[in-house]
Structure 1
Amino acid sequence: MQLVRCLVVAAAYLVLLAGPVSYASPKLLPFSQERNATLIRFIKWFLALWLVREVNAVLNSWAENRWMWKSDKSSWDWKNEIAVITGGSRGIGAMLAKRLVSHGVKVAVLDVEPLSDDFQDDECRLVSFYRCDISSRDAVHMAAEAIRSDHGSPSILVNNAGIGNANSILEVSPERLRAMFDVNIISHWNTVQEFLPDMIEKRKGHIMTTSSMSAFLGFAGAVDYASTKAGLTAFHEGLTQELKHRYKCPQIKTTIVYPTWTRTRLITAIEKGIQSTRAPIMDTKDVADAMVNQIIAAKSGQLILGPSIAATVRALPIWLQELVRDHMAHVVTVNATTAVASSR
């Protein structure tokens, strides 16, 4: 569709560019010849800018698809696919599991908490729970062996699990800091090292990374969280490059998702601070829908589920960047971890 739209805009621009001078005559529109000429020049510039925008979109899509024009969706049979979701018992992960199940995909949830009561009986038939501390390489291996024994090799991996602190740099304890990095980023090495080899052997798979808009914007009170999410951007980009250039397997899809504030336990302690900035808060269903649509479309790329300006904030002048960060400085004003807050 993008390519078709680009070609249509290009054709319109070339027709107008190569059109006869009579296009600017009073016969075209009920204006004077001078006004008609001005209008035609305006339309030419408008089409030129539109064409640049469409060409950029086509190139972006082409690059995200590993410089391949087509995605081979025929290799995906959703009723025979197995997805692993970390942190899938609640929140975004649980909603993602429910949406994948609606397409017939079998889901294996890796979590330290059991499945929430939100799962219906018919959904539970396609969802399997494996208690697993994803920060432990051995625990991930044991869970993976059980999944392969029960269902076969997964073709979809969603690294979704995450925890959040609400502490300043001086306040956060070494234990909380270590747990944050272990769960939010080190675990991605554990799961990818476990499940990627089978995907490479079959030349098919999709690895999805749940990040956050905080990857683009570090702010007071959540420096550790933002650091892990910024690290996930590097992880996603590096994984994508290695699949193309080290393992010669561009068929494996990679997606990174940047949700804005989402109504989960992670924001319970800081919701008032978020509301003070008038920032929107997404529902988990909207985030999960976008993620599942990407998986079902068999596409790679980035999903920015929030203000698009956040992704380009570092291209702004420094004074503007600092104004944005200053605006966010009082979102996190409690001392908390995940959804457990304590007053100062």
Structure 2
Amino acid sequence: MIRSLTILAVYYAVRTVWPLRILYLLFSEEQHAHIETFLTWALPIIFLFDLNAMLSRWAENKWMWNHDKSAWHWRNELAVVTGGSSGIGFSVVEKLVSYGITVAVLDVEPFLNQLQPDQMSLVSFYQCDITSRDAVHKTAEKIRSDHGSPSVLINNAGIGNANTILEITPERLRSIFDVNLLSHWNTVQEFLPDMIAKKKGHIMSTASLAAFLGLAGMVDYSCTKAGMIAFYEGLTQELKHRYNAPQIKTSIVFPNWTKTRLTSHLTDSLKRSKAPILDPEDVAEAMVQQIIAAKSGQVILGPSLAASIRAFPWWVQEFIRDRLAQIVITNATTAVS
């Protein structure tokens, strides 16, 4: 909306205001007619795009105009990051502490001391199996005893298999759903009540562009990430309509292929497909900037049309899936992201 009004204002100024009118006089009457015809058609289209973007931002902010960034004082905030010992999670931790945010890392693997001493002083590691409701509760009690209640929860932990539907074992299938999806109920049930009581918080989930496509060789992974979309949407609705807490931010992040242990066995096939590969630091930067901006919404780190792929004709969708069908072709054990 601002963009279209700016274009119109500039054109009007060029026509009427000296010395800008000199620019107007450089063109012939015929050229002026073409410009005005173009603006007659272009400005409404630009206006509609701007209006759509504005309404989307308003909806993402739960129909509130104010982002209320003043409520956040980063050196007083506590963030919980699951899967924070490596990969994207570690990079998120590193960037959070750069803002002075205290971070509690939940992971089954030890947190490697790869940060500066002043940064490490802001990080507390809690070995925790997030698939266990009891383990999450006991860890949460320890976190609250040590630091107080967290205001930020980043559900980042994830695992991946490289197996077909017929090859995957029941144990591995159950495991990936437990870690990638069902664990979100454990952490949100534990930490959300305090956020609701304070009318302040931010819950973020690390999904994947695989949420929009069911790909051969990683059907289980795609299913868990698609399920995260439903979880994110439902959580957002319940915060507005069940708990009267629209102030609590909700975000979901969709990275493209990223250089983590999840993709280490796909290096050759990714190169052959010429698929872009993100660095964990770039994904983490986008995630943390969303937190610092105190914004809700989707963060898509890949083709901007990815979220709209289900609206494409079926033959287009299938063509895209076919192009990606040979990326995950080797059997592999699970890896933590």
**Band of TM-score, shorter chain:** over 0.9
Q: Which residue of 2 aligns with 1:85?
A: 81
Note the residue ranges of structure 1 that are not aligned, 5 or more in a row: 1-5, 21-26
Inter-partner Cα distance in structure 1 for 2:75 and 2:11: 50
Q: Which residue of 2 aligns with 1:7?
A: 2
Inter-partner Cα distance in structure 2 for 1:158 and 1:121: 23
Matched, 1:268 2:276: no
Post-superposition offset of 1:38: 2.1
Q: Which residue of 1 aligns with 2:245?
A: 249
Post-superposition offset of 1:174: 0.3
State TM-score, norm by structure 1. Answer: 0.91
Post-superposition offset of 1:8: 5.3
Q: Which residue of 1 aligns with 2:46?
A: 50
Q: Which residue of 2 aligns with 1:294?
A: 290
Residue identity over aligned pairs, in percent, reads 61
Inter-partner Cα distance in structure 1 for 2:53 and 2:231: 24
Post-superposition offset of 1:122: 2.1
Q: Which amino acid aligns with 1:165?
A: N
Would the alpha carbon gap of residues 35 and 220 (structure 1) be closer, same or farther in structure 2, given more than 3 Å must change?
same
Matched, 1:220 2:211: no
Q: What is the 5 A alignment of 1:117-136?
A: 117-136=113-132
Quick check: 1:218–1:325 contact (8 Å CA) kept in 2? yes
Post-superposition offset of 1:189: 0.2
Post-superposition offset of 1:36: 2.7
Post-superposition offset of 1:105: 0.5
Matched, 1:148 2:144: yes
Matched, 1:111 2:107: yes
Inter-partner Cα distance in structure 2 for 1:218 and 1:29: 57
SS in 2 for 1:164: strand
Q: Which residue of 1 aligns with 2:65?
A: 69
Q: Which amino acid aligns with 1:166?
A: A
Offset from partner CA, 1:265-285 (integer Å, 9 cap, x none): 000111211222111111111
Would the alpha carbon gap of residues 31 and 148 (structure 1) be closer, same or farther in structure 2, given more than 3 Å must change?
closer
Post-superposition offset of 1:333: 0.7
Could you tell which deviates more after superposition, 271-280 or 58-67? 271-280
Inter-partner Cα distance in structure 1 for 2:70 and 2:39: 42
Inter-partner Cα distance in structure 1 for 2:151 and 2:113: 27
Offset from partner CA, 1:186-235 (integer Å, 9 cap, x none): 00000000000000001100000000000011110000000000000000
SS in 1 for 2:85: coil
Matched, 1:304 2:300: yes
Inter-partner Cα distance in structure 1 for 2:124 and 2:6: 53
Post-superposition offset of 1:48: 2.1
Would the alpha carbon gap of residues 305 and 15 (structure 1) be closer, same or farther in structure 2, given more than 3 Å must change?
closer
Quick check: 2:211–2:222 contact (8 Å CA) kept in 1? yes
Q: Which residue of 1 aligns with 2:154?
A: 158
| One of 184, 198, 206 as aligned partner of 1:202 | 198
Inter-partner Cα distance in structure 2 for 1:290 and 1:12: 30
State TM-score, norm by structure 2. Answer: 0.93
Matched, 1:258 2:254: yes
SS in 2 for 1:36: helix
Would the alpha carbon gap of residues 316 and 338 (structure 1) be closer, same or farther in structure 2, given more than 3 Å must change?
same
